[in-house]
């Protein structure tokens, strides 16, 4: 099983020989022990997110912005300390901005 995984990842080629023989037009001799190699497909994935990493990666991108990080810190301070203003005054706009930006990124 491990050998098969290593072959699929390209660490162990299926056959190794000290010399290399190139056949033109893929016409191999009938007695050849040549095994067709499986090559990875040439798909190009240009999406930034996948289904599994959207939420953590998007939140990381959101809070890299200094304004979002500032409002997050203010919101957390208002939750911990008794302040004259409600935590919703900074939490609701922050949640709205992050939600709208996440929907735009989807």
The domain locations on the chain are: 54-105
Residue 83 pLDDT = 83
pLDDT tens digits for the chain (106 residues)?
776 676 666 665 555 566 766 666 666 666 656 566 667 778 888 888 888 999 999 999 999 999 999 999 999 999 998 888 888 888 999 999 999 999 999 8
* Reported pTM: 0.55
How far does CA 97 lie from the centroid of its chain? 24
Beta strands in the chain (DSSP E): none
Handedness of CA 73, 79, 82, 84 (dihedral sign): positive
């Amino acid at each position: 099983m491990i050998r098969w995984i290593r072959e699929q990842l390209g660490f162990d080629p299926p056959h190794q020989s000290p010399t290399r023989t190139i056949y033109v037009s893929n016409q191999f001799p009938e007695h050849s022990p040549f095994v067709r190699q499986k090559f990875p497909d040439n798909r190009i994935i240009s999406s930034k997110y996948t289904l599994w990493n959207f939420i953590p990666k998007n939140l990381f991108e959101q809070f890299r912005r200094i304004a979002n990080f500032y409002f997050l810190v203010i919101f957390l301070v208002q939750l911990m300390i008794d302040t004259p203003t409600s935590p919703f005054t900074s939490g609701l706009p922050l949640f709205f901005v992050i939600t709208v930006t996440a929907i735009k990124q989807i």
